[in-house]
Amino acid sequence: MVAAALQTVPEAGRSIAVDAVSHRFDLEGKPLPVLDDVSFDIEPGAFVALLGPSGCGKSTLLRLVAGLDHPVAGSIKVDGAKVGDPDPSRILVFQDPTLFPWRTVRANVALGLEAQGILKTEGRRVDAAIRMVGLEGFDKAYPHQLSGGMAQRVALARALVNRPNLLLLDEPLGKLDSLTRLAMQAELVSLWQQTGLTAVLVTHDVEEAIFLAQRVIVFGPRPARIVADLPVDLPYPRHRGDPQLADLRRQALGHLGLEASW
């Protein structure tokens, strides 16, 4: 019922079509290519992981899908429409929770509704989102009073309160301690299942990608190009000790040129 308050339409996830996208940065006048002719499609409601070495350009790809930057070449379409400016239906969750330190947990979660001017009428969505990430009772806390895991949960609630159709996760668990991280991986899966949105997770953690996603797209080093597209055809809830996961993990590491460590 909590999910119902956050998601009116079930199966509301969006499709993404990335077509021949290339991108580069200007680094002191020299062009630095970060994405090289990347193409893939994601069907509505899927959970897809983008896996690759640090700094390969996968986060840049996520920013392009969010609309924070625009690709130099190629096109990105969400539900058939070209991506323009940032929009609350496509929410990016960063590696750092980047909560606004001057706002309480509640006011942080309410940020999107306030910015869109619908906080008065839709205020109950704030409570629903806080409950969804299990932070009831922390409404009035300030960010500096929260642990890393709690702060990242607030960041997730701040995203979910907008009823996004597309959740873009840029290594959201990257800075958490390993136990919190395992707990939050399971929470991410359950949030995704409850809301039915499309989730794209950028990570450099092979196990995390395979444990969470239905499909893992593997990128090579910068400029990023796709080196493999692995379906993970296992039902949820998954078990970390599953031999099929171990096999997929070996495959993924092989594509990243790290099979020797297996």
Partner 1 sequence: MTTTETTLRLDVGPVTALQPVTLLAALGWFGAAALLSWWPDLTFQPLVRELSLTWAALGAVVGLFGLFGGRLGRAGAWTQLRGPWLFAIAVATVVWTVLTAKTGILPQPFFPTPQAMFEVFLYDWPKMLHSAWFSVLLLGQGFLWGAAAGFSIGIAMGWSRAFSYWSVPLLRYIGPLPATAWLPLAFFIFPTSGSASVFLIAFSTAFPVAVLTWSGVAAVNRDYYEIARTLGASPRFLILKVAIPAALPHVFVGLFMGLSTSFAVLVVAEMLGVEAGLGWYLQWAQGWAAYANMYGALFVMAAMCSGLITLLFRIRDRVLVWQKGVVRW
Q: Which residues bind partner 1 (CB under 8 A)?
A: 66-68, 85-88, 90-92, 94, 96, 98, 100-104, 111-112, 114-116, 142-144, 158, 162
Nearer to partner 1, 201 or 232 (CB): 201
CB of 141 vs partner 1, minimal distance in Å: 10
* Angle between helix 124-132 and helix 148-160 axes, rounded to 10 deg: 140
Q: Report CA-CA distances (Å) from 177 to 25, 149, 172, 184, 190.
A: 32, 8, 12, 11, 20
Alpha-carbon distance 24 to 224, whole Å? 11
Strands 166-170 and 198-203: parallel
Contact 215, 233 (CB under 8 A): no
Cα atoms found within 13 Å of the Cα of residue 193, Cβ hemisphere only: 12
CB of 156 vs partner 1, minimal distance in Å: 13
Find tokens 């700094």 and name the residue.
55
CB of 241 vs partner 1, minimal distance in Å: 37
Residues 6+ apart with CB under 8 A from 151: 97, 99, 143
Nearer to partner 1, 92 or 256 (CB): 92
Nearer to partner 1, 143 or 223 (CB): 143
Nearer to partner 1, 31 or 86 (CB): 86
Helix (H) or strand (E) holding 34: strand 30-42
CB of 219 vs partner 1, minimal distance in Å: 23
Nearer to partner 1, 163 or 255 (CB): 163
Nearer to partner 1, 118 or 253 (CB): 118
Find tokens 């910068």 and name the residue.
222
Alpha-carbon distance 154 to 220, whole Å? 32
CB of 247 vs partner 1, minimal distance in Å: 37
Nearer to partner 1, 77 or 103 (CB): 103
CB of 81 vs partner 1, minimal distance in Å: 17
Question: Of 237, 163, 116, 153, which is closest to residue 4 (Cα–Cα)?
Answer: 163
CB of 153 vs partner 1, minimal distance in Å: 16
Alpha-carbon distance 161 to 7, whole Å? 9
